[in-house]
Structure 1
Amino acid sequence: MIKIIMHGCNGHMGQVISEIVKNDESSTIVAGIDLNTERKNDYPVFQSFSECDIDADVIIDFASAKATDSLLDFCLQKSIPVVLCTTGLSNQQIERIEKESKKVAILKSANMSLGINTLLKLLQDAAKVFVPAGYDVEIIEKHHNQKIDAPSGTALALADSINEVFDNEYVYKYDRTLEREKRDKKEIGMSVVRGGTIVGEHEVIFAGTDEVIEIKHTAYSKAVFGKGAVEAAKFLAGKAPGLYNMSDVIK
Structure 2
Amino acid sequence: MTRIILSGCCGKMGGVIQNIVANRDDATIVAGVDKFNNNMTDFPVYESILDVKEEADVVIDFSNPSLLDSLLEYGKNTKTALVIATTGYDDCQKKKIAEASKECPVFFTYNYSLGINLLATLAKKAAALLGDEFDIEIVEQHHNQKIDAPSGTALMLADAINEELDNRMKYEYDRHSKREKRTKNEIGMHSIRGGTIVGEHEIIFAGRDEIITLSHSARSKEVFAVGAVNAAVFMTGKEAGMYDMAELVK
Q: TM-score, structure 2 length as denominator?
A: 0.97
Q: How does 1:8-47 map to 2 (within 5 A)?
A: 8-47=8-47
Contact between 1:62 and 1:85, CA under 8 Å: does it hold in 2?
Answer: yes
Query: Structure 1 stretches (4+) deviating beyond 4 angstroms?
Result: none
The one-letter amino acid paired with 1:120 is A
Q: How does 1:96-115 map to 2 (within 5 A)?
A: 96-115=96-115
Contact between 1:118 and 1:250, CA under 8 Å: does it hold in 2?
Answer: no
User: What is residue 215 of structure 1 aligned with on the other side?
Assistant: 214
Does residue 77 in structure 1 map to residue 77 in structure 2? yes
How far residue 131 of structure 1 moved from its aligned partner, in angstroms, is 2.2
How far residue 210 of structure 1 moved from its aligned partner, in angstroms, is 1.3
User: What is residue 184 of structure 2 aligned with on the other side?
Assistant: 185
User: What is residue 199 of structure 1 aligned with on the other side?
Assistant: 198
Contact between 1:108 and 1:243, CA under 8 Å: does it hold in 2?
Answer: yes
User: What is residue 172 of structure 2 aligned with on the other side?
Assistant: 173
Looking at structure 1, the residues matched to 54 and 227 of structure 2 have their Cα atoms a distance apart, in angstroms, of 24
Unaligned stretches of 5+ residues in structure 2: none
How far residue 196 of structure 1 moved from its aligned partner, in angstroms, is 0.7
Q: How does 1:132-151 map to 2 (within 5 A)?
A: 132=132, 134-151=133-150
How far residue 38 of structure 1 moved from its aligned partner, in angstroms, is 2.8
User: What is residue 126 of structure 1 aligned with on the other side?
Assistant: 126
Looking at structure 1, the residues matched to 162 and 144 of structure 2 have their Cα atoms a distance apart, in angstroms, of 28
How far residue 51 of structure 1 moved from its aligned partner, in angstroms, is 2.1
Deviations 1:77-97 (A, max 9, x none): 111010001111132221111
Contact between 2:203 and 2:215, CA under 8 Å: does it hold in 1?
Answer: yes
How far residue 113 of structure 1 moved from its aligned partner, in angstroms, is 0.9
How far residue 39 of structure 1 moved from its aligned partner, in angstroms, is 2.9
Looking at structure 1, the residues matched to 130 and 68 of structure 2 have their Cα atoms a distance apart, in angstroms, of 39
Looking at structure 2, the residues matched to 174 and 96 of structure 1 have their Cα atoms a distance apart, in angstroms, of 25
Contact between 2:58 and 2:232, CA under 8 Å: does it hold in 1?
Answer: yes
Looking at structure 2, the residues matched to 44 and 105 of structure 1 have their Cα atoms a distance apart, in angstroms, of 24
User: What is residue 50 of structure 2 aligned with on the other side?
Assistant: 50
DSSP-derived class of the 1:164 partner: helix
DSSP-derived class of the 1:183 partner: coil
Contact between 2:6 and 2:32, CA under 8 Å: does it hold in 1?
Answer: yes
Looking at structure 2, the residues matched to 154 and 83 of structure 1 have their Cα atoms a distance apart, in angstroms, of 16
**Identity between Structure 1 and Structure 2 (%):** 50
Q: TM-score, structure 1 length as denominator?
A: 0.97
Looking at structure 1, the residues matched to 47 and 179 of structure 2 have their Cα atoms a distance apart, in angstroms, of 51
User: What is residue 7 of structure 1 aligned with on the other side?
Assistant: 7
The size of the alignment, in residue pairs, is 250
The one-letter amino acid paired with 1:24 is R
Contact between 1:139 and 1:190, CA under 8 Å: does it hold in 2?
Answer: yes
Deviations 1:164-205 (A, max 9, x none): 011210001111111111110110011111111111000001
Contact between 2:7 and 2:49, CA under 8 Å: does it hold in 1?
Answer: no
